[in-house]
Amino acid sequence: MTEQYGKLPLQFEVNRGQHDGRAKFLSRGRGFNLILAATEARMVFSEPGSYVKGADRQTQTIEARSNSKGSLTTLRMRMLGANEQAQILGVDELPGKTNYLLGNNPRYWQTNVPNYQKVVYKDLYHGVDMVYRGNQRQLEYDFIVAPGSDAAVISLAFDGARSVKIDKNGDLLLKVTSGVVRQHKPLIYQDVDGTRRMIDGSYHLKGKGKSVLL
């Protein structure tokens, strides 16, 4: 059963009051919970030995481990200078619903909460959309840059990381209390007349090493 659970698609649940008002969508993977807000993503790692590996495009590998007491580790990724009024949409609704029947007062229950395959931030930066999605319970996210727009506006900051560095492969390593979060080197491409052209790209640290430019 555990093996089959690991093959289920990652899904994004709209927040209808089951979480604090800043959260727009929630997602749960093996060993982590994800909270998506207006201009940030908060990742909370919980299970000892959790491991979630990204696959393609802009991927994220989580190698965090809870300590022996089972305490939580939180990593917050903020999109600096992003549009706080960006439209946030669930895309490709899934057939299943989520129900929260907590307590004995139906007034506070949340039922038929929809789940989606993707969450899209429209115009998070000028001419740049952001998409969160899953691949076999593996968290991935993309920045989609419109023609004529400047990808240099994308800037990320991390709270909860003790250190941030780029390894020899170009991967971004975020050291947290319980382990390391690895984000693979950006995979950038452009479709031109039906042909996919790869574009060289990398991370660049700025400031005190806690902010990253693509």
What is the band of 199 on the pLDDT scale with cuts at 50, 70, 90?
Answer: very high
Cβ count within 10 A of residue 208: 7
pLDDT at 141: 92
Place of tokens 């439209």: 87
pLDDT > 90: what percent of the chain? 48
What is the band of 67 on the pLDDT scale with cuts at 50, 70, 90?
Answer: very low
Q: What is the mean pLDDT of residues 192-206?
A: 91
Q: What is the mean pLDDT of residues 166-170?
A: 94
Residue 81 reports pLDDT greater than 70 = yes
pLDDT at 79: 95
pLDDT at 96: 83
What is the band of 190 on the pLDDT scale with cuts at 50, 70, 90?
Answer: very high
Give the start-to-end residue ranges of the domains of the chain: 2-213
3-class secondary-structure state, position 6? helix
pLDDT at 129: 98
Cβ count within 10 A of residue 136: 12
Model confidence, pTM: 0.81
CA gap 9, 55 in Å, rounded: 13
Residue 210 reports pLDDT greater than 70 = no
53 or 145, greater pLDDT: 145
CA gap 91, 25 in Å, rounded: 12
Residue 88 reports pLDDT greater than 90 = yes
pLDDT at 70: 54
Mean pLDDT is lowest, of 28-32, 151-155, 184-188, for 28-32
pLDDT at 51: 39
φ, ψ for residue 121, nearest 5 deg: -100, 110
CA gap 6, 122 in Å, rounded: 30
Q: What is the mean pLDDT of residues 151-167?
A: 92
Cβ count within 10 A of residue 214: 17
pLDDT > 70: what percent of the chain? 79
Residue 59 reports pLDDT greater than 80 = no
Per-residue 3-state assignment (H helix, E strand, C coil) for 49-80: CCCECCCCCCEEEEEECCCCCCCCEEEEEEEC
